[in-house]
Amino acid sequence: MQAFYKNYFFLAVFVFYSGCDTDEILYKMDQAQKLPTTFPNVLDYKGIPDSATDRSVFMFSDLGAWHGYALPDDNAKDYYGSFIGPFNMMQDNGVWMSDCLAKLSIASGEKLKSISFENAQLIENSSYPNQLKQVFELQGLKLQVQSELIFVSNRTALNKVIIENKSNVSQQIQIGWSGKSFLENVKFKNLSLPKIVLSFGDTSKIARIRTNDEQNTVYEILSDGYHITQSERTLKSGGKLVSYLSQSFSFTKDEDYKEGLIVDKVLRFPEDVFQVNRLIHGEKIQKLIDYLRPEFQDEAHQRMVIKCLQTLNNNWRSAAGFLEHDGLFPSYNYEWFNGFWSWDSWKHAVAIAKYDETLAKNQIRAMYDFQDEMGMIADCVYRDTIIENHNWRDTKPPLSGWSIWEVYQQSQDKEFLKEILPKLEKYHQWWYEYRDLDQNGWCEYGSTDGSLIAAKWESGMDNAVRFDEVKMIENGKKGSSMNRESVDLNAYLCEEKRYLALITKELSLSAKSDQYQEEYNRLKEDIQTTFWNEEMGWFCDLSLETKEPLQIYGAEGWIPLWTNLAKPEQAAAVAQTMLDTTKFATYIPFPTLAADHPKFKPNRGYWRGPVWLDQAYFAITALRNYGYDDEALQFSKNLFDRLEGLKNADGPIRENYHPHTGEGMESKHFSWSAAHLMMLLTE
C-alpha cells in the first residue's frame, strides 16, 4: 500500500485541479509548489531564547501544532543547520523547551573528527510560509549543508538535512543530533524502541525524536540530554547525503500511539510529504492572491496578505483537552491568550474561510462546543483548566451569525448550516431572555456573576469611556445587566436576524425566514429612530431607565453603518464625523474614541483611543456600504502604509496601534488584527 501522504497528495491534486487536462494539472502543480518560495522572511523568526520564558523570540508553527520553532541568528554559527526550540504550548502558557532540542553535528575524515562550524559561510537563513530553511557551506571541506523544517501533522515537525560534497574527492561523513532541555521536569529516555522518548514530569505528555534510518542510528541518553549518531557514509564527489529527523509531541499515550503510525508512514516517504506541503501552501497562497482587490495586487500587498496568513497559521491550535475542534489563539506570544475567545473566533473564521473552509467551520464549532443549556456561549475557553478556567462570567458580542453566513458563502455547505442553525437560534434567543432587562426588545451587556468588570468584557471594549458611569442591575435570571442599552449590541443582533432569515431561507424554512425578516425590520426602525442622536449626528447608547442618549463619539457609532441599518442621511452625518481629522480621521484612522474627547488616551489606552483593526475594518466597510468608496480606499492605504512593521517589513502584526504614530502596541502576532487586514486586502 502506498504511504498515506502519497495518497493525500494525489487527492489534493484531484480536488484542486478537477476540470483541468493533464498538462494543465502538471503546470498548475508546478506553479503552486514554487509559490511559497517567492515569499521569504515575511515575519522575523530569528533569535535564540536565553530561558524558557523568553518571549522576545518568535516561533513558526503550522497545521495546528502545539509547538513551534525559530531560526538562529545569522551570526550564531554554533546553531547552523539546526532550528531553535521548540516553543512548547503544551506546558504552562507556552515555554521554550530548549534553545535547540535537535542540534546538528557533522564529523568527517577517516577518524570522523567533529567539524567546527566557526568558519562556515552562511548562504541562506530564511522562513517561508510553509517552512524554515538554512543553507551554509563548510568551505575547507567544500561541503554544502541544507536544513529544512516543515510540519507534517498537528503533532509532528520533520527536519530534512542534505549534505552535498562539492569537492572533487570522496569524503567520509557522519551526522548526528543532540539536545537538552531548559525544563527540569523533562526527562530523556531510550526505551526498547529505537528512538528518544521525552517525558514531562507526572503528566501523560510524551515527545519522541526519530530518524528515517533507525537501523543505522545509535540513540544515547546522557545525564542531561541525548545524542543521536548515524552510521558513517562515503560521500562521493558531487554526491548527496539526505537524512530526516522527526520531533513529535503528544498529550496522551493513545495520541502518541496514533502519531507513531503517522510518523512511520512519513519516514518511509519523507520527500512526498515535502511535496504535499509545498502544494497545499501554494494553493492557499494562490487563493489569497486571487482574492486581492485590484488596488492591492502588487508584491508589497501580496507579502502583507501572506503575513496575515502566517500570523493566523502560527496561532492555529488543533483539538486537544477540552477543545474539541481546531481554532486560533488570539496570540501565542502573549502568555494569557492561550485559549479561544468567542468574538475573536467569529472574526477569525470569516478570514480563514478564504483559504481553508474546513478550519473556518471548525473555528465556529470550537466555540459552539461551549454553549450551555440556556444558550449562552462562554467568553473564552482553554485546553487545560488547571492552567486557567473557562470564563462563563460573560459572553461576547453576537457576531456568529455573520461568521456562519460568510463561511457558508465560501463553502456552500448546507449540512454545516443545518448543523449550526439550532445552536445559533438558541444563542440569539439567549440575548433576549437574559440580556433584555425591561423586555423592550433592546438588549444590554451584562454578566452572569453580576460584576461590572465581566459586563465590560462582554462588550469586548473592556475599559471604553462609554462604560465609565454604568451601574449593574440584577435581572433575576442568573445574572445582571448594565443600565445601558448599547447601540452596537443591538445593531449586531439586528444584523443577526437578517442572517437568520437568509440561513433559514437557504434551508427552505420559509415561515422562519419570514419571521426573522419581520423582526429585523422592526429592530432596524428602532435603531434608526431611538438610537439616533440628531444633534450629534451619531448613533449612541441609551440609558436603560430614561432612554436618553449617551453623548460620546465612539466606535460603536459606526456599527449601524457596517450593518447597513442607517438611513442615507444618517450615514452622511456619521461619515462627516468619521472623516473629521480632529476626531476619527487620524494619522492611523479610526481610534475607538474621538481624538478630541477629554479622556482620549492614544498611548496604551486600550479601548480609550488606540486603533483596533476590527473596528477600523467595520468603519471602512461602513463607508463603502454607503458609497464612500474613495475615502474607504484611502483609509485602507493609510493603514497598510503607516502601521509599524507591516508593509515591506518583517515585524509582527499587533493587537492595536497608536493613532498618531502607527506604533504597534500590546500583544504581538494578534490573530484578529491579521484577520481584518486580510479582509481589507481582499474584500
pLDDT the model gives residue 634? 98
pLDDT of the residue at 14 = 45
CA 176 to chain centre: 34
Annotated domain spans of the chain: 1-38, 44-265, 553-683
Spatial distance between the Cα atoms of 557 and 534, rounded to a whole number of angstroms? 12
**DSSP string over 153-217:** SSSEEEEEEEEEE-SSS-EEEEEEEEEE-S-TTEEEE--SSSSEEEEETTSS-EEEEEES-GGGE
AA identity, residue 234: T
Which tens digits make up the pLDDT trace of 97-134? 999 999 999 999 888 999 999 999 999 999 999 999 99
pLDDT value of position 519: 98
**Whether residue 602 has a cis bond before it, omega within 30° of 0:** no
Please state whether the peptide bond connecting residue 86 to the residue before it is cis, i.e. omega within 30 degrees of 0: yes
Q: Which of 409, 411, 475 is nearest to 448 (CA)?
A: 475
Q: Which residues contact 91 (CB under 8 A, 6 or more apart)?
A: 97, 183, 200, 205
Predicted pLDDT of residue 193: 67
Residue range 631-672, pLDDT digits in tens: 999 999 999 999 999 999 999 999 999 999 999 999 999 999
- Name the stretches of the chain with pLDDT < 70: 1-26, 192-194
Which grid cell is 170? 570522496
pLDDT of residue 8: 46
Query: Would you state the cell numbers that stand for residue 669, as one nine-digit string?
Result: 502576532
Which class would CATH give 44-265? mainly beta
* pLDDT at residue 521 in the model: 98
Chain Cα centroid distance, residue 667: 13
Question: Residue 501 to residues 5, 405, 424, 504, 508: CA-CA distances in angstroms?
Answer: 42, 11, 12, 5, 10
Burial class of residue 177, CB neighbours in 10 A (0-12, 13-18, 19+): buried
pLDDT reported for residue 4: 41
What is the β-pairing status of strands 84-88 and 233-235?
unpaired
Number of Cβ within 10 Å of residue 497's Cβ equals 21
pLDDT of residue 545: 95
User: Could you tell me the maximum CA-CA distance found in the chain, to the nearest angstrom?
Assistant: 91
Task: Kindly report, residue by residue over 361-406, the tens digit of the pLDDT.
Answer: 999 999 999 999 999 999 999 999 987 899 999 999 999 999 999 9
